[in-house]
Each structure stands twice: as C-alpha cells, then as structure tokens.
Amino acid sequence: MFNYDNQQIFQAIDDLNYDTDIVSTGITFRGFTVSKDSNPIKNTLNVCEKLFSSEVYGLVVEDASPSDSIIYTTTFHNIPTIGISSREALLSDKSIYTTYGRTVASYANQADVWVEILDHFNFNCVVFIHSNDINGRRVQKRFEVLADASNIKVETVIEYEPSFPDISKPLEETKLSSTCRVFIVYTDYEDSAAIFQQIIHLNMFDAGYVWIVSEQALMAKNRPTGLLSVKLQNVDNTEGHIRDSVFILGSAIKDMYFKNNITKPPSDCRDLGRNKWESGLRLFEYIKKQSLSPGKTGHVAFDERADRIDSEYEIINVNNNQMNEVVGQYHYSHSTSKMILTLNESKIVWSENSPTKPFGYEVPNHFRVATINEKPFVWVSPADVDGYCPPRQIPCPLFNSTTGTEHKFCCEGYCMDLLKTLAFQLNFTYSLHQVEDGLYGGFSFVNNSQRKVWTGLVGELYYNRADMVVAPLTINPERSLAIEFTKPFKYQGITILQKKQSIHRLRHPLASFLQPFRNGLWVSVFVSVHVVALALYLLDRFSPFGRYKLPNCDATEEDALNLSSAIWFAWGVLLNSGIGEGTPRSFSGRVLGMVWAGFAMIVVASYTANLAAFLVLDRPETPLTGINDPRLRNPNPDFNYSTVKDSSVDMYFRRQVELTNMYRRMRTMYENAEDAIAAVRSSIVQLVDQSLPQNINPLIFADELSAFIWDSARLDFEAAKDCELSTSGELFGRSGYAIGLTKGNSFWTKKVTLALLGMHEIGYMEELDNKWIFLDEQICEERSENFPATLGLKNMAGVFILVGIGIFAGIGLIMFEIVYKKRSTSKQKRIELARNAVDKWKEVIESRKTLIENLNQSAKQRLFQKRKHRYNQSLKHDETYDETYFETPFDTTPYTVEKGLNAIKGDLSDKSQEIRPRLRREGSLGSESELNVSQIDLQFPKITGNTKSSFKSSKSRTQIPSATTNYLSLV
C-alpha cells in the first residue's frame, strides 16, 4: 500500500480476518505497506526489493500519478493489482496492464448514465463532441455501442484536438443541416471554458437546446445555465475503497484456494523470464468474478477488463444561480439487482431558464413526404399535359437522378386520404414525391464491412431526403433502428396468394382420360391390336385345322376368320365386348386368342385402376396451410414461390433462422408486387435483370409463380376483386403499416400517433377500408374442401368428344355405304334382268326349234306315208316305182311349213308382251322401245340327211340394252 494511513490498511485486513464468511480456518491475511516516491525509478526499486521479498499475493495501490511504474512492474510479474483512484482509460488496456483492476469507475463509464438520461427524456438523436485522445475516443466508442442498443441515433460526431478545442465551424454546420438539438460534450477541465465560449457565441444555448457535459466540465467558471452533467459518488472515499479492495482480494484468494493450487509469488525482479507468476493470472480471473454488495463504496463488481461497474452517480444541473444542483441519482437497486435512474424533473432548469423540457429537435411545419406506388394504398396516374392533377389527387413527381429529369404524376388512394386528414388535423404542409428506386427499404453492407446502406423509403428518411413516409410501410426491427415509426394505422400480417385452379399432369384437361398411360404405351397397345389380328388371321388361314382346310365342314368361305373378323375379334377382346362370330377355329389361333385375352385383362385392369387414382388426385390443389406447409419447406421443381426484394417480407425471411432454407429456395426476387401478382395470374412476367447496368432495363421471363408471399392487406385486396385468386393459410409475421419519420423526431411521432389512434376510435380507418380496399369486392362461389373430388364434364370431356367423333365417323361411313350399295344394287339388278331376258329368249328359241324339228319329222312322216300310200295305190293299180323312191331326200319348202311359222310368230308375240312391262319397270327399255318379233324370219333349208336349222334374227325398231346384247353374243 502506498501513501495511506497504515491504521486504515491494517484495520481493513483485521476486518477481513475476522469475517468467517470469507476467511476459512487456518488462513490468515497479513498486510505490508510501502510509501510511494515521486521518482518512478525509486518506486520500481521499492517494489522489487521490499514488496516482492515479502511474497505479496495482491496489491492495493493509490494509482494517481505518478504510479505507472509501480503498476507496470507488478502487472508484468502477474501480481494482481487493484487501483483505487485513477480513472484513466489507458489502464483498461490489458495488453499492457494484464492483471490490473480498479474499484473506481473510469471516465468512460459516464456514457452509461448519459444513455439513461436520454432514454428517460425520450431524446432519440444526439450530436456527440469529444476530445481526440484516448479518454475521449474510449468514451465515444462506449457511448455509440450503448446508444445503438437503445435506438438512439448519433447524427454527428465532432472531434477536437486537446488543448486546441476549435469546434465553431462543425458546430455551425450541424446547426444548419441537422434538426437534432441534443448535444453531449466530453471534455477535460482545461478545454471546457473554450468550448463553452464558442457555443455561447453561436447562440446554441437558446431555448430548445439540450446540453449534457462530462463531470470535468462542471468545474468551468463560464458554464451556462441549463447544463446537465453527472458526478461520481464515493470517488474521494479512500477508506471505503481500501476496505472494498482488501475484501475483493480476500474473496478471490479464498475461491482459488479450494479449487486450484496456489504457488508462491516471485520474491525478486531478477530473471524476468522465470519470475512471471502463473497463479497470479488465475487469481486475477477470480478477482474479475467477485462482487461485493453492499460495499463501503456501493455495489462493487467488475467487467471483463476488471473495470468497476455499477458505480453510483449524482445527476447535476446548473441552475439560475450558476450553482451545481443535484436533481437525481443513478444508483444500484438491490430489489431489481440493476442500476436505476431517478430524477426530480421539477428541479431541472433547461436552456435560457426554461422549465419546459425541449423536444430535442427542431420542430418543422412543412414535411417532405415520400411514398410508393402500391395499390390500393397509393394509386399513381400520369398528370395532364400541363402537369396538373384533378382536385381529389395529389401531385407526386418521380425524379430520375440518372437523367436529371422529373416526371409528373398524380396520387390518390388510402394513404393519400390519410395524409390529407393528418395535415388538416395537425396543421402542417407537405410536398409529396415518389421514391426513385421503387423499393420499401432494406439495407446491405458495403464491401463486406459493418457499414449499412439503406435503400427505398427507409433510405429517404435515413439520408434526410424526406421528413415523413406515408405508404404501406411495415414495421420491423431492422427499420426501427434507422427511422421512427408511429403506431400502426392498419394492422396486418404476411399471407400467401395462390391461383384457384387444378394443377394437371397434362397441359389440357380434355385429355384427362389418357393420363394413366403414356403416349408410347398408347401407341404400343394400338399397334398390338392390329398385329395380333393379323397373326390370328394367318394362323387360322394356314392351319390345317382352320375352317379353310377342315374336310366335311359345312362352313362356307364367309364363315371363315378373315382379316376383318380378326381385327374385330382383337378389339372386342380388348374392350370386353361380346364376340358372336368370327372366332379362331384352329388350336394355334385359340392359344394366341387366350394370350391376347390375358394381355387385355391386364391392360384394362391397369388402366382402370390408374385412371381412378389419377382422377382422385387430379383435383384442385389444396390451399397452403401456412408458412409451415411442406410444399413451401420442401418444394418440388414445379412449385415456386417468391416475394419482393428489399421489402419487409424479404427482411423477415432473412431474419428468421428457421426460414433460411425457404429463403434460399426463392428463385426470383421481384421488383414490385405488381409483377409478382401478374406472375401468379399468368405464366410469363416481365422482370428486371439486376446484373446489367441501371440504364439498361431488359426484359427476362420467369416461370409461373405458384405462390406469392406478401402483406395480407394487399393480397386481400387482390383476392377480393379477382375470384381466380385466393389467400391461403393463417397470418404469420404479424405487424402493421405505420407512418415513418426521421430518427429523433419524437414530437411529431407522438402527435401523429395520437391522431391515428383518434381516427381508429371514430371509425375513420374502416371508412378508408370500405372506400379503397373493398371497393371492387366480388362475391365468389365458395367450394367446400370437406368432400371428395367429383368428376365433371371438364374431366371427362375428352371421352365424350371421342365418342362424338366415333358417331360422326359412323354416320359418314354409313352414308358412303348407302350410296355405294345403291349403285352396286342397281347395276346388279340390270345385269340380272338382262340375264333373265336372255334365259327367256333361249327357252323360247329352244322350244320353237324343237317344234320345228317335230314339224319336220311330222312332215317327213306324212310325206313318207303319202308316198307309201301312193306306192300301195300303185301296187293296187299295177304302177311301178323305183326302190330309190323312198330313199329320195325330202324337199322341204317354205310353204310346207307355213302353218308352223305362223304358230311360232304368234307364240313369240305373246312372250314379248309378257317381257316388255318388266323391262320398262327396271329401266332396261325406253318408253318408246318395243320388242317387235314380227320381222323374225325363220328359214329352214331343205331337209337332207344332215339336216340343220339356221336361226337368223333381225332387229327392226327393237332396242336391246348393251348388257343384254353382250350376253346374247356370249351365249
């Protein structure tokens, strides 16, 4: 111990030895003191010669300057050292002071209290001013970490060189460019007066400004009224720090004694490589874990650097009399086991003696409002030729930074009506514009660093290009870090949009009945039918046991199995129709028939079973049940889903670890909701290729989008006006649409929030819903999914069409058959009539020929009898004849058969009268045709021994058909 009353030191050690909770039986702590010298070399020699020789396990040092040599020597040999007075940030560097800790808070710990004060007063922005030294940089770093965790935006950081605090220019720029009016200054006592002088010169202590300074600056004589600061308590309580340090060392040694073997510490400073105490490093780790509550200086605990945490502070305010007045405390609460801030706000005096708390930022009355094209919340249409908008619409130009041009548009919708109502109620003006990139707002890291770049509407606010965002902007944690949100004006969640239609395995539902078999199998079955039919015909034709070869068989050729009958048989077996005729007779043909019947049974059974399965499965796809639906978690190649890039839904998927795989499976991130909804309706959508430069905007094509994941408010609107679309599953990622403002603008955030709550209470939001969201709502037919799928005409239309084609084909064939049969029958009848006529003529001619022959015979007989009679008469009268008289050939002359010829002509006339009407009915003779047999001349030559008759016919006015003539010629 250095430079302290020995009585205080030994009293603390005695108290430790008598504390049985810390010191176990058999353990005794001893104290040893050495006075500190102003010469650092002497201090180092005292450590090596006096302290190390006493085998010191721990050191408590008054570490105010000059103490660096002592601390460096002890920590170099790993002797745990606890300081009780130094607050410099350098001592927190463990690369130099490996085993050093302290019971007094460092200057950087003031940042903890500053953040609590800002949270208490709802100051969400700050301008931070600090010295460019190790203390200032350490305070700034600690403050930024804590402010980021508390959603406090550090708008500007101003650094100055110690001893040269020239901050006038950056302060003036901040005053003009920033609306934030909360300033925090970390400065030493030497620079504080100069800094205050510059602030006063810029009139930045006027009403509306808030100044919080370090405790060193409170000692400046020109400190202005209204300052807030902090002051560490117990910083001068030397006895308390000594006692707390001794008890911390004792507790750490006790804990280590029962768990680790403690070796002896170094006894001198020689042989530096061997005298580093390894047990000292482990003992220091136990020291960092100790806590003492209550200690003489309050709750004692350490962070990972062995710096004191949970130190208690007083909140100081400079009042009207330029006096430092305590207005609150930052202290440890034993009931909650954490630090709490208590303030008496009625005592606080703000800048220019104002009793009212400033807003913390400059309150504007005119807002630059940004929006985005998103139906039905914002409908965008081009302005007229003069650039003007109708009265109910608001001008909302779109600026193109690439070309430097501004395009005139007009906006209306849900959010535009809301904006006009808010402006009227809260009495502010506005100028509206559309966000250039058309995005809601996301962030990306620049060159894989930790620096975020915001896009879209959030970027408009973050980079001060807009003061307010009135659009369907979803609240989420990432955006809340960059901008302010009001209470939601519409509550919603995330849902899924699908199209109501069946997802068929074939592209056209008319071919549903063909689905069980592939095209190749259908062709194979069709070919097999005709191949088997041909094989059956050939087997039955050439088999010795077929109908063609069976002996003593009554079957005719028509009863045999021809090729047509074989095809009919093959189709009949396949289609399970009755086969009454034309079956194979041969054994080989019947074997093939049985095999074909088995094939047909298998094919028909397989088709029937597979068709039933396909028709049951071929039903409208069940809607997605939600975000956990297997089709989303493990989608097949034909099912794809997506959302909009850099939107709240996009950030939601990136934020949720369990949705990482789903996010990676999204094939295409759409530029806006319009394109995605169009992709759900149709199979092709226009997208922007992001790999090309911004000035090139080609179109690429994507597959049909099976599901679109987006905000429920927009998707409900689309499903309400289009019955082909539906939302699926329960809402997830519930949030709301809110109005965005710049960070730290809590005044307007509260006012707009209160106005929105009032609109909810009076039903104004419901009016906007009915006016814009449910305007085109249609009554869609609801279909219950609790019943099995039933087949309709749409499923079986292909079969009906096939039957219709067969019917029309049959009608065409039968018409062809009727015409063909009529022509063939007419021709056959003409041939038959000619044949009958020829047969009749033949009969008549034959009969008359026989008659003539009979007449000739009769004539010969009569002549013979006559001659015989004459011969007999001559014998009676004694006349003599030559024997050759009877052998003389008969001379038959025409007149001897005149009566026979007349008889023949009469008979022929009768036959012609009988034949003529029949020929007229059948069309074989014309109306004027006659069959005249009166000119038929029969001439019989004279009868000789070889008598022959010649028949000649001549036609006079007789018309005989060519077919008949040919036949007569043939005969």
User: Over 266-331, what HEC string results?
Assistant: CCCCCCCCCCCCHHHHHHHHHHHCCCEEEECCEEEEECCCCCEECCCEEEEEECCCCCEEEEEEEE
pLDDT on residue 595 = 81
Q: Is residue 17 part of a domain?
A: yes
Rounded Cα–Cα distance for residues 332 and 318 (Å): 25
Rounded Cα–Cα distance for residues 389 and 397 (Å): 11
**Pairing relation of β-strands 210-213 and 182-186?**
parallel
Q: Count Cβ atoms below 10 Å from residue 969 Cβ, excluding itself.
A: 7
Task: Evaluate if residue 882 carries a pLDDT over 80.
Answer: no
pLDDT on residue 621 = 61
Considering the domain architecture, whether residues 530 and 434 belong to the same structural domain is answered as: no
pLDDT on residue 544 = 64
Say what percent of the chain tops pLDDT 70.
77
Average pLDDT over residues 437-451: 79
Q: Is residue 949 part of a domain?
A: no
Considering the domain architecture, whether residues 143 and 284 belong to the same structural domain is answered as: no
pLDDT one-digit tens code per residue, 722-756? 888 888 888 888 888 999 998 867 778 888 999 99
Q: Is residue 128 part of a domain?
A: yes
Q: For residue 327, which phi and psi values (nearest 5 degrees)?
A: -120, 5
Considering the domain architecture, whether residues 155 and 228 belong to the same structural domain is answered as: yes
Structural contact between residues 585 and 556, judged by C-beta atoms closer than 8 angstroms: no
CATH no. for residue 527? 1.10.287.70
Q: Is residue 50 part of a domain?
A: yes
pLDDT one-digit tens code per residue, 188-244? 999 999 999 999 999 898 888 999 999 999 989 999 999 999 999 998 888 889 889
| pLDDT confidence tier of residue 74, bands split at 50, 70 and 90 | confident
Considering the domain architecture, whether residues 432 and 349 belong to the same structural domain is answered as: no
Considering the domain architecture, whether residues 119 and 228 belong to the same structural domain is answered as: yes
pLDDT one-digit tens code per residue, 481-501? 889 999 999 988 888 888 875
User: Mean pLDDT in the chain?
Assistant: 78
Task: Evaluate if residue 245 carries a pLDDT over 80.
Answer: yes
Which of 79-93, 185-199, 562-576, 687-701 shows the lowest per-residue confidence on average (mean pLDDT)? 687-701
Residue 162: which residues within 8 A CB-CB, separation 6 or more? 131, 132, 133, 136, 188, 190, 191
pLDDT on residue 227 = 94
pLDDT on residue 143 = 95
Residue 222: which residues within 8 A CB-CB, separation 6 or more? 193, 196, 197, 200
pTM for this entry: 0.49
Structural contact between residues 484 and 739, judged by C-beta atoms closer than 8 angstroms: no
Structural contact between residues 170 and 158, judged by C-beta atoms closer than 8 angstroms: yes
Q: Is 660 annotated as a binding residue?
A: no
Q: Is residue 653 part of a domain?
A: no
Which of 736-745, 845-854, 867-876 shows the lowest per-residue confidence on average (mean pLDDT)? 867-876
Q: Is residue 11 part of a domain?
A: yes
Task: Evaluate if residue 122 carries a pLDDT over 80.
Answer: yes
Considering the domain architecture, whether residues 217 and 343 belong to the same structural domain is answered as: yes
pLDDT on residue 934 = 39
pLDDT one-digit tens code per residue, 949-967? 333 333 333 333 443 333 3
Considering the domain architecture, whether residues 132 and 231 belong to the same structural domain is answered as: yes
Residue 585 lies in domain: 509-547+560-617
| pLDDT confidence tier of residue 276, bands split at 50, 70 and 90 | confident
pLDDT on residue 65 = 64
Structural contact between residues 99 and 284, judged by C-beta atoms closer than 8 angstroms: yes
Task: Evaluate if residue 890 carries a pLDDT over 80.
Answer: no
SS3 517: coil
pLDDT one-digit tens code per residue, 788-827? 444 455 544 554 465 457 457 656 766 786 788 788 888 8
Considering the domain architecture, whether residues 154 and 98 belong to the same structural domain is answered as: no
Q: Is 21 annotated as a binding residue?
A: no
Q: Count Cβ atoms below 10 Å from residue 302 Cβ, excluding itself.
A: 20
Rounded Cα–Cα distance for residues 158 and 170 (Å): 7
pLDDT on residue 953 = 36
CA distances from 262 to 99, 306, 517, 846, 911 (A): 16, 21, 84, 157, 157
Average pLDDT over residues 373-381: 91
Average pLDDT over residues 851-874: 82
Q: Count Cβ atoms below 10 Å from residue 436 Cβ, excluding itself.
A: 17
Q: Is residue 725 part of a domain?
A: no
Q: Is 474 annotated as a binding residue?
A: yes
Considering the domain architecture, whether residues 115 and 218 belong to the same structural domain is answered as: yes
Q: Is 293 annotated as a binding residue?
A: no
In 3D space, the residue among 84, 54, 48, 55 whose CA is nearest the CA of residue 67 turns out to be 84
pLDDT on residue 944 = 40
Q: Is 33 annotated as a binding residue?
A: no
Beta strands in 625-693 (DSSP E): 641-642, 687-688
Q: Is residue 668 part of a domain?
A: no
Counting the structural domains of the chain, the total is 4
Average pLDDT over residues 845-873: 83
Considering the domain architecture, whether residues 51 and 144 belong to the same structural domain is answered as: no
pLDDT one-digit tens code per residue, 562-586? 888 888 888 888 887 766 566 777 7
Tokens of 642: 């997506």
CATH no. for residue 380? 3.40.190.10
Considering the domain architecture, whether residues 71 and 201 belong to the same structural domain is answered as: no
Rounded Cα–Cα distance for residues 286 and 252 (Å): 5
Considering the domain architecture, whether residues 569 and 435 belong to the same structural domain is answered as: no
pLDDT on residue 968 = 35
CATH no. for residue 176? 3.40.50.2300
